[in-house]
Amino acid sequence: MKKVDVVLGLQWGDEGKGKVVDVLTPNYTVVARFQGGPNAGHSLHFGDKSFVLRTVPSGIFRDGSVNIIGNGVVVDPVSLTEELRNIADQGIPVKEKLFISKKAHIILPTHRMLDAASEAAKGKSKIGSTLKGIGPTYMDKTGRNGLRFGDVLAADFVDRYNKLKSKHQEMLSQYAGFEYDVTEYEKTWMEGIEYLKGFRFIDSEHEVNEMIKQDVAILAEGAQGSLLDVDFGTYPFVTSSNTVCAGVCTGLGVAPTKIGDVYGIFKAYCTRVGSGPFPTELFDEVGEELRRIGHEFGAVTGRPRRCGWLDLVALKYAVMVDGVTQLIMMKSDVMNDFETIKVATAYKIGGEVVDHFPYEVTDDLEPVYTEFPGWKCDICKVRRYEDFPQEFKNYVEFIERETGVPVKIISVGPDREETIIR
């Protein structure tokens, strides 16, 4: 019996999961998203084409693949409809290739308004929300008020929608001075609901487990990164779902005993979008260079990403909580021209040096760096690990020793071909 393999990010998101899943999918029949919403943006590049996938699993462009939006995902019908129509314009038979879990929750127009109102009310304490309505939707889910795709098929769906909308409007009235109008967006939202009715809504937990019994190869795809997990991330500057491997179990209905390989993706350096702790963040010309060379701007929001050196303390923590079996290093080529490359191998907190990720990352935390000589050459054309310069291999093998996990895939550029599998 095959097990479900998992691919997820090990930092604060934006690690390059989309490309990795696209590279891995020839080995899998099914790709299933297990959490998150349209705040995620997976960028795919092949040939002269580029796509940003927000909700659709990254296997959608592979021939013969089945793609599932799992019950742990929250879905904006407007965003998903736009995304699917763009993909369909490329000749992809989306209605044949994409299934939606009946238990996946739906983002309402008023969820987006609640998100905006809450973030505005926080002032300087705002968490950097993408304002896509993700948090309020998960709040309704845990509060047992939400709408799910299975509800769309009910005769009284509109009544259910209006009931929840009214509740949201009452909540919005508590935000003094906050003005909003969802009329136009609501119209587009309803059109999106009608479009999505043309897709197959499934009892995903039953179907996924039946596929497992039939030895179907399944890849579970996460969104954001492990350090944004609502339980294990840099709280409260986190997302509203479980981005770690355990989220596969609740987001797809897969038992822990059915989890196979866990592919953990990380950049050769670190980035973060929005507010929150970032121990290795660089505010100098090195940080600017990483941003410029790495084109570090959000795939969905366009926001410039904060950049810094690799944080090995945080990486080892993510490897631990995720049970990572194989590491995948992205954007190695971004650091081609640096004389010296640094890695945070410990933190100094209150004068004490610690090598574990703390309960809370505070302003008095100071990273302790280990330095490596840069490789000072273009590695974009390298296609075999043996052909990398020794300085680069030293960097990779240091990470392997420290984490105890092999780096099996190395990316040296955005295209499918710029991927070395060891």
The CA–CA distances, whole Å, from 416 to 221, 238, 247, 331 equal 18, 30, 27, 13
Positive or negative: CA dihedral 143, 321, 67, 113: positive
The CA–CA distances, whole Å, from 412 to 224, 294, 323, 392, 417 equal 21, 11, 25, 12, 9
Distance (Å, whole) CA 343 – CA 225: 19
Q: Which residues pair with 347 in a beta bridge?
A: 354, 367
Catalytic one of 5, 22, 42, 115: 42
Distance (Å, whole) CA 121 – CA 94: 40
42 is catalytic: yes
DSSP characters for 217-255?
Answer: -EEEE--S-GGG-TTTSSTTSS-SS--STHHHHHHHT--
Catalytic one of 5, 14, 22, 229: 14
Positive or negative: CA dihedral 244, 274, 22, 101: positive
Helix (H) / strand (E) containing 390: helix 390-403
5 is catalytic: no
The answer to whether the beta carbons of residues 248 and 259 sit under 8 Å apart is: yes
- The four Cα atoms 307, 312, 314, 316 give a dihedral, to 10 degrees, of 150
- The four Cα atoms 80, 85, 87, 91 give a dihedral, to 10 degrees, of 150
Would you tell me how many other CB atoms lie within 10 Å of the CB of residue 151?
16
Looking at the annotation, which residues are catalytic? 14, 42
